[in-house]
Amino acid sequence: MCLAVPVQIQSIDASRNAVVELGGVTCQISLIMTPEAGVGDYVLVHTGYAISVLSEAEALASLEALAELARIQAQMEAERA
C-alpha cells in the first residue's frame, strides 16, 4: 500500500523543485509531473514527487483525516499500555 500526503508549496526554483512544509518539517520535492503547480498550491506527494494538484478543501480534508487516524492510533496504544 502506498501513501501520498497533501502539502502546500512554499517556493519553487528554476529546476521545478519545490520547498513544502508538513507538520513543521520542510523538504524539497519535484514538480516534474505537475508543471501546473504554483506557490501556495496544495499537491499530493508520493516518494518526493508531486503527483497531482489538490484544491485547498481537498487537501485540508485529507490532512484532517490523517490527523484523526493518528489520534485513534495514539488512543489505541494508550489503552494497551
Q: Model pTM?
A: 0.86
| Tens of pLDDT, residues 2-43 | 789 999 999 999 999 999 988 889 999 999 999 999 999 999
CATH code of 55's domain? 2.30.30.140
Residue 44 has pLDDT above 90, yes or no: yes
Residue 81 has pLDDT above 90, yes or no: no
Domain that holds residue 59: 5-80
Please enumerate in sequence order all residues whose Cβ is within 8 A of that of 18, keeping only pairs 6 or more positions apart, or say none: 9, 10, 11, 12, 28, 29, 30, 31, 37, 43, 50
Count structural domains, the chain. Answer: 1
Predicted confidence band at 1 (pLDDT cuts at 50, 70, 90)?
low
